[in-house]
Structure 1
């Protein structure tokens, strides 16, 4: 029964609400960079398009085919991604990974919304899906500036 309660907590109403309302889901017609990431374990995919202006994300689009946790992660990112620098995206990615795998703190503002995914720490098979959107965005920024 305990494992079942943990799963119910993992798929909280807040996570399901985020998963159902992902921002910036329109792909960009002329992106500077596009990156598709796939989790081999579960098959989740996220494709990210972006345009930079002055080193910050000016336009962003994402196509998310993932579990509710991956969708929630993409929603949190999508709500905060415009105007972010490569350093901010990389820091959020690294902080989220540390939160999930090393009991690290919740990512810093403006990405503190990832705290909703704290219950996923114990589900290592979900970590890759949760990380996809930030990993794809960090890679796309590197491509656009490289």
Structure 2
């Protein structure tokens, strides 16, 4: 495994995951697992009346790459719409697969450039973004009020 894959920034992010408490009454929840490495991420979200994410909770049991990805997702997710979260998930997936040259507009995802040749690591990196997009989509479908 390349030393650049687990660089200082990845390791720093892996130890600084925000929103690590699960929400008591989420509007939407999703759990995603990577069958390759056993990583697991559970995301709870709450949306405001305008459909923007206002609360996030996450439980992350993943490798350093999955933890770093969860940290980047968590830092920038609040205030986003379900559509923006789905766009970030799709851009990250395409970037890792080599289908696009950039990871999209989400801050910090270029950090995973060294992981692109390591397809076995892609699932763990995608987990938090897949889970938050799915949880937000579920929350958007749920009647509130």
TM-score scaled to structure 1, two decimals? Answer: 0.92
SS at match of 1:58: strand
Counting helix residues as a fraction of each chain, which structure ranks higher?
1
Task: Tell me the matched-pair count.
Answer: 140
Residue in structure 2 matched with residue 107 of structure 1 by the alignment: 103
Residue in structure 2 matched with residue 34 of structure 1 by the alignment: 29
Among 54, 58, 61, which residue is 1:58 paired with?
54
Query: 1:10-45 CA deviation, whole Å, 9 max, x = no partner?
Result: 000000000011111111111111111101111000
SS at match of 2:22: coil
Among 64, 68, 92, which residue is 2:64 paired with?
68
Unaligned runs of 5+ in 1: none
Query: 1:93-118 CA deviation, whole Å, 9 max, x = no partner?
Result: 11101110025233333x13011111
Give me the whole-angstrom Cα distance separating, in 2, the residues matched to 1:91 and 1:139: 12
Runs in 1 of length 4+ with deviation above 6 angstroms? none
TM-score scaled to structure 2, two decimals? Answer: 0.93
Unaligned runs of 5+ in 2: none
Q: CA deviation at 1:59?
A: 0.3
RMSD of equivalent CA atoms? 1.1
Residue in structure 2 matched with residue 94 of structure 1 by the alignment: 90
